[in-house]
Amino acid sequence: MNAGRDTQGPAARATTASGRGRSRWLAMLVVFAAGGVVGWGLHTIFCPDTTQRRRRTPEEARDALTARIAERVEMSDEQTDALRAVVGERIGAIRRIRNDVLVPRLRVQARLLHDDVDALLTDRQRPLWEAYYAELTEKWFREEAATAPATAPATAPAGPEATTAPGR
């Protein structure tokens, strides 16, 4: 008698359908989240240099570079210890050159950029530019502020080396 007829009422059908709908949404959410986790993991593995672009302390930089070199050329523990001292010395020298020579020149160029952009702006735009320029220079020169010597030169050195690369 009831063959082919719906034996469930509308309330029972709605409950069953909503349960299936929820499980579908849950399955889609789980797949989406899993895809995000897998994507993040693959990016971390295959693009390690872009995963964290934070500034490193000299010791962190020394240890990271030492580990990469030692692994790449298969150094012994004794060689790695000697390498750590060499890399630490070189990184210190590179940072001093950066702070004493490059940063002052970069500050001059940043100030020229500021002035050139400022000349293009209206009075209404200038405060916006000043705020954005302050953000930019804070980001550009953040490390220098933390590691600069107390007597860092205020301006770029004069001479031909200020505008050309060595050997040119």
- How does pLDDT run across 76-116, given as a tens digit for each residue? 999 999 999 999 999 999 989 988 999 999 999 999 999 99
DSSP code per residue over 36-69: HHHHHHHHHHH-HHHH------HHHHHHHHHHHH
Give the pLDDT score at 29.
86
pTM: 0.47
Confidence of residue 50 (pLDDT cuts 50, 70, 90): low
**Would the pLDDT of 124 be above 60?**
yes
